[in-house]
Chains A and B, each alone.
Chain A
């Protein structure tokens, strides 16, 4: 059971927009800690996609965007492409139990 809750799967047709939610609590996202998002293509290591809630590292297309409000965060992908089919994970920091890093359970994005 992950501390951050994500939908197990989302899907969309090429060109469409999809969003992935990440729900936390008052000890992590709600406490003001930043949310980061990772993309994991099949058989590869996770890659940082969004950091600090809404910032894109160099090289990440602007089709990817992030937002945060209250105890939740969201990743939006516009203009879906076949290459976006991957697992997506949110991550934050949790101040409970002496503090620890936490990940969401991951969301499998299928491009129809």
Chain B
């Protein structure tokens, strides 16, 4: 059974760096093809893909946010970490991590999401 869970601060100040951790079980990020992605959703708005890391450490980023994002993995801990620099109130959103079987497959399992508010 695949599960994912996001963790991190619920409140960050403008200009600070956000660090979110996705802890998962039921699969290994050393399995060929597998990926873990991050998707966010501002309150009342649409889903927005942020970043994805594959089993082989191939990393992909949203073109509009690439300069602010870093995604890493710790296979031994079954964790994926996303950092986002220079946070702004418009970055207030629920952040989800999700499992991807491979390639351009869908995100078939999602975490419950964690709401991050950016405010001074």
Contacts and interface: CB of A to CB of B under 8 A. Distances in A.
Interface in A29-79: 33-34, 36, 38, 45-48, 51-52, 57
A98 B52 CA distance: 13
Interface string A78-112: 00000000000101110001111111111000000
B56 to A, nearest CB: 16
Given A100-B60, A100-B62, A48 B108 contact: yes
B104 A106 contact: no
Contact of B46 (A92, A100, A101, A105): A105
A89 B62 contact: no
Interface residues of A, number: 26
Interface residues of B, number: 21
B14 interface: no
Given A45-B96, A48-B108, A93-B104, A103 B48 contact: yes
Interface of A: 2, 33-34, 36, 38, 45-48, 51-52, 57, 89, 91-93, 97-106
Interface of B: 37, 39, 46-49, 52, 60-63, 96, 104-108, 110-113
Given A100-B62, A103-B47, 11 more contacts: A34-B105, A36-B107, A38-B47, A91-B47, A91-B49, A98-B63, A100-B49, A101-B49, A101-B104, A103-B39, A105-B46
